[in-house]
Structure 1
C-alpha cells in the first residue's frame, strides 16, 4: 500500500484538481479522509464504502468528538447534494468533455460508532483510482491544520505544479474553479477574503512556502501569479552567537530568526527576507 500510516497520501487526477466545485471545510475534510483510504494496489469500485470517524475529524480540527460528529453529519448531508464539473478525462486522454456529476452516491450515519460512511459516485472513480499519469499527490497532514477550504484548494493547485514552482491563473478561471460566482466580485474583496487567507495558511501549515502577485490586462487585474517551493529546501545555518532557543524564536517558514537577520537586505521585513532566502536556496 502506497500510503504512510502517519501521513496518508492523497492521489487525485489533475482533472479533478482543476475541476469546478465548492466544498465547505468539513466537506473537504470528509472527501480527503476518504480519498486517503483509496488503495493504489487494488481496483476501486463504486461499491467501496469509506468510513470517516468523528475522532479523525476531532484530531484534525482540534475540537471535541461530539462536536466533530455534528460537523460530520451536517457536512456529509451537504456533500451528498454537491456537484462537480470536470473538463478532462482522468489521465488527460480523449477529447475534452464537460462532465457534470456528484461526489457521492450514498452516505450512511453510524451514530453509535461516531462515524459516517460514503460511497463515491461511479463517474468519480476513474479520477481517484488507477491513475497512471497526470495526477497530483500530497500528504493528508499537509492540509490537516488548515481552516480554509480555499487554502486546501490552493494547496492542491500548487502541488500540481510542484516541480515548476510557479503558477499563473486567470482571475476568471479561479472564480470558476472555486465556484465564487456572485461572491467577492471586487478584486480587493477577492484578495482579502480568498487569496490572502489561503496563501497565509499554506505558509503556516503546509510543507510549501508561497507568495503571490498580480498581472493586469489594461487597467484590470486579469491574472494571479503564485510562486512557491519546499520549505525543507533551505539549509539551516547555525549562527555562532545564538543559542538554539534564540535561533528558533521568531522563525519564518522554517528559517530561524538569526538566519533571516544575517541575510536580510536593507528595508526588508522578516517575511519578505525569508521568502527571498527560500527562493535563492531553491535556485542553487
Structure 2
C-alpha cells in the first residue's frame, strides 16, 4: 500500500476556518498554507479510533465507502478528543486522497460511482443533549480529478463533532488491516471485535447482529446466515488481522437468541484507553425504561441469559424489579462498552455486592440505588 498522509494545513477563506488534509499519495497537489500541529504520523502500525456513534450509523456503507471513511478517520486522529469541550468548531474540513489508497487498478467507473454515492450518503442520529433527531449528508461536495487520480471531499460542518468526539467511547483498530479486508461483512464486524478485545468476548442478540450486518430480511435460516455472513467474515478476520475469533450460539429452548464471540488478540501495539460516558449510559437507561412493557421484559430476559453464573433465584430477583433491576440494567450497559474483564463477576458485585478481588480498580462500580450515579 502506498505511503499515506501529510501535514494538514489551515486556511481562512473569508470568515470560514477550514482545514486541508492532503495524502502524500497526491504527489501533484500543491501543499497550501502553513502546516499545523494536527499532523498525524503514519506507519504500517497506525491505529485509528472510530467513535461508537459513527460505528452504529455508518453500518450501511459499502466496502469502498467504508475504506474512504476509514481514511478520513486516519486524518482526523490528532484532532479527536475525549473531552468534548476541547473540540474546535471547524467550519469546514477538506480531504484529498489518491484512488490507489482505496481500489486496486485505475477503474474510473468505480471511482466515479464511489464519489457520487458518498456525496449522497446521509447519516441519522439523535442528539441526546437536546433530544433532537438529525439527518444530514456527510460530504455535500465531492470531486474526482481523473488526470491526477485525486478524490476530494468536503465535510459538512455539522457532522464534524461526530468524527472528533470520543467522549462516548470508541473502537480502536489497525488501519492497514481494516483497509485490507475485502468482505463487506468482515469490514463491519472487525471494529466490533476490536472494541471487545479487552473482555475477550462479544455477546449480542441475533436480532441485533442481523441489524448490524444489514441482514434483517436476508438469510432467515440461521444456517444460511452463518454460511453466508458469519463464517466467511470470521475466516477473513482470522486470516488477515491480529485477532482469532470463534463463535457459539446462545439458545432459548431450541431457538437461537444470541451469539457469543470469543476473542484472542496477538498484537503488541499500544493504544489509548477507551472511556465510557456516564451521561451516555444514563441516556441509554432512560431509553430502556421508556420501552413498552413487553419489549422491556424481553430485553431484560435476553440480557440476563448471557450471565451464566447468575442462579435462577438471582435472575428472578432482578426480574421482580426495584433496585436490583436498575443495578442490573446500569451494569449491563457498562459491560456492553467492552471495558469489563469479567462480566459475570462484575455483575455479581454490582447487583448482589459479591466482591471479586480480581476486579481491576479502574472499572466502575454502579451503586444499587436507582439514581444513575456511578461510584
Give me the TM-score of the superposition, normalised by structure 1. Answer: 0.69
Q: Which blocks of at least 5 consecutive residues in structure 2 are unaligned?
A: 1-38, 81-87, 269-375
1:223 to 233, 248, 258: 258
SS of equivalent residue, structure 2 residue 140: strand
Deviation at 1:44, TM superposition (A): 6.7
Q: Which blocks of at least 5 consecutive residues in structure 1 are unaligned?
A: 234-284
2:112 to 73, 95, 104: 73
Deviation at 1:95, TM superposition (A): 7.6
**Counterpart contact for 1:208–1:228, Cα < 8 Å:** yes
Over 3 Å counting, the alpha-carbon distance change for 1:123 and 1:207 in structure 2 is farther
State the alpha-carbon separation in 2 of the partners of residues 157 and 111 from structure 1. 35
Over 3 Å counting, the alpha-carbon distance change for 1:46 and 1:152 in structure 2 is farther
Q: How does 1:46-57 map to 2 (within 5 A)?
A: 47-57=92-102
1:199 paired to 2:237: no
Over 3 Å counting, the alpha-carbon distance change for 1:215 and 1:46 in structure 2 is farther
**Counterpart contact for 1:165–1:227, Cα < 8 Å:** yes
Deviation at 1:131, TM superposition (A): 2.4
1:26 paired to 2:61: no
Deviation at 1:41, TM superposition (A): 4.0
SS of equivalent residue, structure 2 residue 96: strand
**Counterpart contact for 2:124–2:133, Cα < 8 Å:** yes
**Counterpart contact for 1:84–1:101, Cα < 8 Å:** yes
State the alpha-carbon separation in 1 of the partners of residues 213 and 132 from structure 2. 19
Deviation at 1:126, TM superposition (A): 1.8
Deviation at 1:47, TM superposition (A): 1.5
Counterpart of 2:219 in structure 1 is 184
State the alpha-carbon separation in 2 of the partners of residues 139 and 3 from structure 1. 14
Deviation at 1:123, TM superposition (A): 3.8
Over 3 Å counting, the alpha-carbon distance change for 1:102 and 1:175 in structure 2 is farther
Counterpart of 1:113 in structure 2 is 148
State the alpha-carbon separation in 2 of the partners of residues 187 and 73 from structure 1. 37
SS of equivalent residue, structure 1 residue 33: helix
Q: How does 1:121-270 map to 2 (within 5 A)?
A: 121-132=156-167, 134-232=169-267
**Counterpart contact for 2:92–2:156, Cα < 8 Å:** no
Number of corresponding residues? 223
State the alpha-carbon separation in 2 of the partners of residues 205 and 44 from structure 1. 38
Return the index of the structure with the highest Cα Rg: 2
Cα RMSD (Å): 2.5
**Counterpart contact for 1:20–1:86, Cα < 8 Å:** no
State the alpha-carbon separation in 2 of the partners of residues 56 and 228 from structure 1. 29
Deviation at 1:198, TM superposition (A): 0.9
**Counterpart contact for 1:165–1:228, Cα < 8 Å:** yes
Deviation at 1:109, TM superposition (A): 1.5
Deviation at 1:54, TM superposition (A): 1.4
Deviation at 1:191, TM superposition (A): 1.0
Over 3 Å counting, the alpha-carbon distance change for 1:8 and 1:188 in structure 2 is same
1:82 paired to 2:121: yes
State the alpha-carbon separation in 1 of the partners of residues 55 and 123 from structure 2. 11
**Counterpart contact for 1:20–1:85, Cα < 8 Å:** no
After superposing the two structures, state which structure 1 stretch, 139-148 or 18-27, moved more.
Answer: 18-27
SS of equivalent residue, structure 2 residue 151: strand
Deviation at 1:37, TM superposition (A): 1.1
**Counterpart contact for 2:250–2:260, Cα < 8 Å:** yes
Over 3 Å counting, the alpha-carbon distance change for 1:177 and 1:168 in structure 2 is same
1:124-174 deviation per Cα after TM superposition (whole angstroms, max 9, x unaligned): 322211424512222211222211121111110111122111011112112
Q: Which has the higher contact order (CA 8 A, sep 6+)?
A: 1
State the alpha-carbon separation in 2 of the partners of residues 35 and 4 from structure 1. 12
